[in-house]
Structure 1
Amino acid sequence: MVKLGILVAVAVLLETVSGASLGVVYTEGGMVKGENIRLGLFRRMDVFKGIPFADIPGRFEKPKRHPGWDGVLQATEYRKRCLQVNLLMTDTRGSEDCLYLNIWVPHGSKVSTGLPVMVWIYGGGFLVGGSMGANFLDNYLYSGQEIADRGNVIVVTLGYRVGSLGFLSTGDSDLPGNYGLWDQQAAIAWVHRNIRSFGGDPDNVTIFGESAGGASVSFQTLTPHNKGLFKRAISQSGVALCPWGINKNPRKFAEEVAIKVSCPTDENMAACLKMTDPVALTLAGTLSLSSSPDHPLVENLALSAVIDGDFLPDEPYNLFHNTAGIDYIAGVNDMDGHIFTAFDVPSINSPLVDTPIEDVKRLLTSYTKDKGKAGLENAYSLYTSNWGSSPSQETIKKTIVEIGTDYIFLVPTQTALYLHASNATTGRTYSYLFSQPNRMGGIGRPYPSWMGADHADDLQYVFGKPFTTPLGYWPRHRHVSGYMINYWTNFAKTGDPNKGEKVPATWPKFTTTGHQFLEINSKMDKNYVGQKMRLRYVHFWTSILPSLPTVTSE
């Protein structure tokens, strides 16, 4: 009994000693208090949810600084996501009052100071998404807890306007667009100004994001408005050069939205749109989900960034000089295009339904339509070069996924890496291919047995879900999650993904001559380093196809 008493006393003592907490934090807007949680014997974490980084945004206006508050703001609940369509696009959710961020600060036995900071930008096609991500039984996808704890970094997640309210543009100064990108930029600037009070190092900030968030990260590195605000960046499955990244004809879409909400399409359009009900505007800016190989889904992503002469003063490929000092990781999932091509050609998911070769041609025709017959013929001969005389159904289905992956994600990402490396002064460049097979693939499951990593499959591993909900995963999933968190947080700390916590393979820098990359999955070892990722296909889309004469459409 005496021993037990001593143990209890020691435990109580340890608990008081290791009770590290920031308590009330002073920020530019006022005082905030989060929640302090215990993670282990000498580990605690402060979690702040719903700190405003800007005022409630004006309709189609850039964000403004928050006026501040009196007393102590209790930052313990996620705020609503920005007003957006629901997944069926039949209704809306969220609020216009949505410019808030969340912060996870890990502590050892003492309160942390000078920690590296990782700022997350969510994806969702610029149409949907929230700083907390999807949730299941209060397990939020974008909870920064696992990354912060395992990597000993501060994690910040932010909200930004999406859909019509975030990206509608008339293509001129009436409604210049890019409001969602300005929101992200305001949050990054807020972090730079305030994170020291939370124990962070304002001179060691990494921004990271996936899909539209990965493209957003890329835009934030390219804009001249972020000089000195962050040091490193990670784009997962999305860069500024993706075919859906920039809307080349924003006025056309703005006029379609105006007609749907009974606004004129003349010089009074912008004034009318500004006064229209925000729910109606949001519903009018939806994406058509009807697609086919002739009109692929990717072409329907009409709400995106625009070259506005301000946030983006030029075409993205002309702005890489602005990234010269930024360390950059970019990569894709090996079947990133699956989610899109499965909309266009649903038969690829069904082992019982044949996919006709004609569908391969139709998809390639739509992706190469500017180049007419010559474009299609060149593309088709490349993608069928290893088919033999009678390709199997699996070969045909996989080819469709490869075409979508290359065109929508892989080739633009390789191009961005090349432009980053060729403009870099001090910035380092790293490329990866994520290939952990989708957990829904296999006999009797929704996806085919040959399924690799689908779009967004990487998120659960980066955010440590196999550790948070261990019953939902196998040990191999914890391996790949641990590897990714170590690479990502090593990079955030030092600019080198190999320095710090142990990793299974040394990740070489991407150079303009060697194009080295790392393949990431649970089986990886030092042999998972490759070079010149799908070079024949990259060469086709970046050199051969553009050099063909453009066909003028009737």
Structure 2
Amino acid sequence: MLIIVILLFVAKSVISLASPPRVILPHGGVLVGKHMQTSNGKFVDAFIGVPYAKPPVGKFRFASPQKADSWEGEKVTDTDTTVCLQYNKFEPGNIVGSEDCLYINLYTPTNRTKVDEFPVLVWFHGGAFALGGSNSEDTGPQRLLDNDIILVTVAYRLGALGFLSTGTLDSPGNYGLKDQAMALQWIRENIKTFGGNINDVIVAGQSAGGASASFHLVSPLSKGFFHKAIMHSGNYFDFWTIIDRKVAIERTKKLASLVNCTTANGSEELVGCLRETSALDIVATSDKFLATVTGHPLTVFAPVVEPKWAGAFLPENPRMLSKTYGHTIPIIIGVTSDDGLMTSASLIYTYNQEFKDNFKTFLPVMIGYDNRPPRVQEKITRQLDHFYFNGVHNWSVQNHQNLTNLLSDDLFYSGMDRFLRNRFAAKRFGPTYVYVFDQRGPKSFTELFEGGPEYYGVAHADDLPYIFPMDQLNISRTYCDNQMLYAMPKMWTDFMRTGNPTPNNSPVHPKWIPATKFPLNYAQIGNKNGGRSLDSYLNVTNTSIGAAREQDNVAGDFPCNSYNDTRSNEMAFGPKTCVIIRNKVSLEQRRMNFWRSLERSLAWN
């Protein structure tokens, strides 16, 4: 009898996989997707290219997104749609995509039941608010859905089309972020159909996507649509994430003049002209702002504080808010150990002499204080030069750490420090897990950042291949990479389910200690050495640590086998172990103290 039941179950599974998955949405329309498999062979129902908003063309360009139209019958959603229109120097022809791009990709376990309620991860891609996408090859379900969750990746408007602002209600800006909020609303209304839990939605992203997730923590348009957040290398305290309104207006006028739209008759006429201008011309012209790689702001069109109106995504500067609902939401926030390699690798490999020759000119623009009075700029430049370089500019592929530290601190570390100080100052704040990703993988994003084939360190975005397939890197995995490929998705999805990345039943040891104050508790994830050989088991317990200096709190390695060893509180492993997580105290405190001393001079509000 048991054999018959098993055969019937197998037959049912084979039949279900022979036909594409179908889902009936609440409005009656049907989505027809396709089957995919995770790295471990679990089947996933994939619905790729699901519209969540109307195409933002014509009168909807430079306007808040509108709900997608409903439909009757079936809509096939099994192929990636084009990315949002963008200038991307990494792509042939440079300009790629379409204005018709407001789609999500949604992945859910095939073997779900009507009573399942899976946590939902909503992923916003990075790319300086100017480029990137959410295709299934690079940000698909292959890693994360080995665990029972739902993954939704969101495409949103980019560059001038996503963030142009006149400083008035004619074009208040933040359209890319409003697109994301519209996607969250779509998820709220439809995710139950896919087995999702509307009360367990997690916003997440990397770089500009991480900053996007942080903006949702404070936006009135997003409130109530999500319950946790994960921010990789980006939050709204990073200086590049918010543009001053005056600067935004100046850039809008400059773009308008370059495409022959008059700026003399007010913003209403200007926006009307830009709506009639070819989107390709707008994107191509936007690149003219980027005169050189080294001497220009990281983000040209980016989020801005809007005039107060009912549809404002950012009616107030989030950096000035001492109280927000986002403070109570559980978060993971972190950086890579050498995040600044995003910029320093290309400076050293491609533009080294140019940067050395123009150090005093480029530095204020790169660091974001070129809007300060000349005398203040000179003072800040002297302070930075002395602290990081002692006046010696001898960078090379072998000698880059001081330059990388400067750019890591400027672009990412100091912003995370400010974000956490603001959060900890609140009367109540939710669980806060801080990390530094330090895993040396077989390939690095420095190759894409024009840094050449040399290994520099753990760069910006080097954490992403451990939660997404990232096929563009064509990675051949090392032994310890395969262990991290299990552990990191496990920690992230455990956090989604429980609010704790290492709950009591987690195989990852030691337990990740949350941060509650400074000096900061944080987890070092991975090891630049890529693993090491040991002759004995590790069985290390928490120890009392002096908080004044950075050091290990708990040393822990992830075992290379997958079974429990009852002889210790670790899992059993062979002669080789792979460092997964170590609790540490006091994250680069000397460097962060230096940046705190600069804050008034930098005037980053």
Please give the TM-score of this superposition, normalised by the length of structure 2.
Answer: 0.78
Query: What residue number does 1:494 align with?
Result: 498
2:381 aligned residue (376, 398, 401) = 376
1:10-33 superposed Cα distances (whole Å, 9 cap, x missing partner): 985442244568643323362212
Distance 1:447 1:348, change over 3 A: farther
- Identity over aligned pairs, percent: 28
Query: What residue number does 1:515 align with?
Result: 520
Query: What residue number does 2:547 align with?
Result: none
* 2:233 is equivalent to residue 228 of structure 1: no
* 2:69 is equivalent to residue 15 of structure 1: no
Query: What residue number does 1:136 align with?
Result: none
Query: What residue number does 2:260 align with?
Result: 262
5+ residue gaps, structure 2, are: 532-554, 558-580
5+ residue gaps, structure 1, are: 1-5, 134-139
Query: What residue number does 1:73 align with?
Result: 75
1:360-401 superposed Cα distances (whole Å, 9 cap, x missing partner): 76665553553334323332332247x9x9989678521111
2:599 counterpart letter in structure 1: P
Separation (CA, whole Å) in 2 of partners of 1:549 and 1:128 = 28
Separation (CA, whole Å) in 2 of partners of 1:188 and 1:105 = 16
* Residues 421 and 510 in structure 1, CA contact (< 8 A), matched pair in contact too: no
Alignment of 1:334-349 (within 5 A): 334-346=337-349
Separation (CA, whole Å) in 2 of partners of 1:475 and 1:262 = 57
* 2:204 is equivalent to residue 208 of structure 1: yes
Distance 1:403 1:390, change over 3 A: closer
Separation (CA, whole Å) in 2 of partners of 1:54 and 1:525 = 46
Alignment of 1:132-147 (within 5 A): 132=135, 140-147=137-144
3-state SS, counterpart of residue 287 of structure 2:
coil
Separation (CA, whole Å) in 2 of partners of 1:103 and 1:119 = 9
3-state SS, counterpart of residue 593 of structure 2:
helix
Structure 1 residue 207: Cα displacement: 0.9
1:47-77 superposed Cα distances (whole Å, 9 cap, x missing partner): 1111111112211111111121110212211
Separation (CA, whole Å) in 1 of partners of 2:104 and 2:602 = 48
Equivalenced residue count is: 523
Distance 1:78 1:270, change over 3 A: same
3-state SS, counterpart of residue 483 of structure 1:
helix
Structure 1 residue 539: Cα displacement: 1.9
Please give the TM-score of this superposition, normalised by the length of structure 1.
Answer: 0.85
Structure 1 residue 359: Cα displacement: 7.2
Structure 1 residue 306: Cα displacement: 0.7
Separation (CA, whole Å) in 2 of partners of 1:534 and 1:471 = 31
Distance 1:247 1:471, change over 3 A: closer
Structure 1 residue 348: Cα displacement: 8.4
Distance 1:109 1:404, change over 3 A: closer
Separation (CA, whole Å) in 2 of partners of 1:218 and 1:440 = 28
3-state SS, counterpart of residue 519 of structure 1:
strand
Query: What residue number does 1:83 align with?
Result: 85
1:200 counterpart letter in structure 2: G
* 2:82 is equivalent to residue 101 of structure 1: no
1:502 counterpart letter in structure 2: P
Query: What residue number does 1:282 align with?
Result: 283
* Residues 15 and 41 in structure 1, CA contact (< 8 A), matched pair in contact too: no
1:535 counterpart letter in structure 2: Q
Separation (CA, whole Å) in 2 of partners of 1:263 and 1:355 = 35
* 2:426 is equivalent to residue 436 of structure 1: no
Query: What residue number does 1:326 align with?
Result: 329
1:146-166 superposed Cα distances (whole Å, 9 cap, x missing partner): 201x22110011111111111
Distance 1:423 1:281, change over 3 A: same
1:15 counterpart letter in structure 2: V
Query: What residue number does 1:473 align with?
Result: 477
1:454 aligned residue (446, 449, 459) = 459
Separation (CA, whole Å) in 2 of partners of 1:469 and 1:152 = 26
Separation (CA, whole Å) in 2 of partners of 1:460 and 1:394 = 24
Of stretches 523-532 and 51-60 in structure 1, the one that deviates more from structure 2 is 523-532
* Residues 291 and 343 in structure 1, CA contact (< 8 A), matched pair in contact too: no
* Residues 87 and 96 in structure 2, CA contact (< 8 A), matched pair in contact too: yes
* Residues 326 and 426 in structure 1, CA contact (< 8 A), matched pair in contact too: yes
* 2:238 is equivalent to residue 242 of structure 1: yes
Query: What residue number does 1:137 align with?
Result: none
Structure 1 residue 536: Cα displacement: 1.8
Distance 1:272 1:494, change over 3 A: same
Structure 1 residue 427: Cα displacement: 1.9
